[in-house]
């Protein structure tokens, strides 16, 4: 087993808030649109679209919203042409931060990301400065009791997983090779696991343990970045102290 920073858990918990959920649905629609434009509107032949649609469903996005987005693309509505950009940088205490954005205005997004890093005590880096710290990984999130998660952890490898995280806040992350994500999810679901999310993520190879003050500063940086309209995902290798996680969960 291996741990994770729990930043992803904080994101999921805060996503249950109505205002955050509306913003999440907008981001999910953008990912669906981009995937459909790049690879076609048939999920059967477009793995990126298939995963984007499944993630939207996992997040509670209504089917009508998903269908409406796909019909626009199928009908020839190109909408805004969105460019995918990755930003790399560091937060307080030397924690690596990786940001994925979809934008129709590179200058606007770059300015927003740079100013957010600066205001929150971080530093944006050059291309390649931190992306080597992360691996492209399939991540499956399972919910359950401690006993259920222990059983999932034991059976996940048999289902084709490469690794599992440590249970936290009623959830367990299971890691797969990107190309095995859907197969492992299906196998785990057949075993009775309550899968609540499955997506391709950037998983850190190593983590940086942070003191409380640096951890709080990093958490603010991650949250402010995640709130930017053009930002799709934010990843970090920060390992947060328990008290910081508890305070974040209570907000």
Q: 69 with 96, same domain?
A: no
Q: Residue 14 maps to which CATH number?
A: 1.10.10.200
Q: 174 with 200, same domain?
A: yes
Q: Does residue 240 sit within a domain?
A: yes
The gap from C-alpha 231 to its chain's centroid, in whole angstroms, comes to 11
189-246 pLDDT, tens digit per residue, is 999 999 999 999 999 999 999 999 999 999 999 999 999 999 999 999 999 988 888 7
Q: Does residue 79 sit within a domain?
A: no
Q: Does residue 196 sit within a domain?
A: yes
Q: 42 with 160, same domain?
A: no
User: Is the pLDDT at 78 greater than 70, yes or no?
Assistant: no
Q: Residue 168 maps to which CATH number?
A: 3.30.70.980
141-176 pLDDT, tens digit per residue, is 999 999 999 999 999 999 999 999 988 889 999 999
Q: 242 with 200, same domain?
A: no
- Structurally, the chain folds into a number of domains equal to 3
Q: Does residue 2 sit within a domain?
A: no
For residues 93 and 101, the answer to whether their CB atoms sit within 8 Å is: no
The gap from C-alpha 251 to its chain's centroid, in whole angstroms, comes to 20
Which tokens in the block code for residue 156?
A: 């996940």
Q: 170 with 62, same domain?
A: no
Alpha-carbon gap, residue 9 to 173, rounded angstroms: 9
Report how far apart, in Å, the C-alpha atoms of 91 and of each of 118, 128, 221, 225 are.
Answer: 10, 16, 7, 12
Q: 13 with 46, same domain?
A: yes
Q: 214 with 103, same domain?
A: yes
Q: 139 with 194, same domain?
A: yes
User: Is the pLDDT at 1 greater than 50, yes or no?
Assistant: no
What is the span of the domain harbouring residue 169? 133-204
pLDDT at position 3: 45
Q: Does residue 21 sit within a domain?
A: yes
Q: Does residue 164 sit within a domain?
A: yes
Q: Does residue 66 sit within a domain?
A: yes
The mean of the pLDDT values for the chain is 90
Q: 176 with 144, same domain?
A: yes
Q: Does residue 238 sit within a domain?
A: yes
First to last CA, the chain: 29
């Amino acid at each position: 087993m291996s741990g994770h920073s729990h930043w992803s858990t904080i994101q999921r918990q805060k996503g249950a808030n109505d205002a955050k959920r509306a913003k999440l649905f907008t981001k999910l629609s953008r990912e669906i649109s981009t995937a459909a434009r790049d690879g076609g509107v048939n999920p059967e032949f477009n793995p990126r679209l298939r995963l984007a649609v499944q993630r939207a469903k996992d997040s509670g996005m209504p089917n009508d919203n998903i269908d409406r987005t796909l019909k626009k693309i199928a009908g020839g509505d190109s909408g805004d042409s969105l460019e995918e950009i990755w930003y790399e940088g560091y937060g307080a205490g030397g924690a690596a931060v990786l940001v994925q954005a979809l934008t129709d205005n590179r200058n606007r997004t770059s300015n927003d990301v740079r100013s957010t890093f600066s205001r929150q005590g971080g530093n944006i880096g050059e291309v390649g400065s931190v992306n080597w710290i992360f691996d492209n990984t399939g991540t499956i999130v399972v919910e359950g009791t401690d006993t259920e998660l222990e059983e999932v952890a034991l059976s996940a490898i048999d289902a084709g997983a490469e690794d599992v995280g440590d249970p936290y806040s009623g959830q367990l992350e299971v890691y797969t090779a990107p190309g095995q994500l859907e197969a492992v999810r299906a196998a785990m679901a057949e075993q009775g696991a309550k899968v609540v999310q499955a997506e391709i993520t950037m998983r850190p190879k190593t983590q940086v343990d942070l003191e409380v003050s640096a951890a709080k500063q990093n958490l603010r940086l991650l949250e402010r970045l995640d709130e930017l309209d053009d930002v799709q995902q934010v990843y970090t290798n920060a390992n947060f102290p328990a008290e910081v996680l508890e305070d974040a969960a209570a907000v």
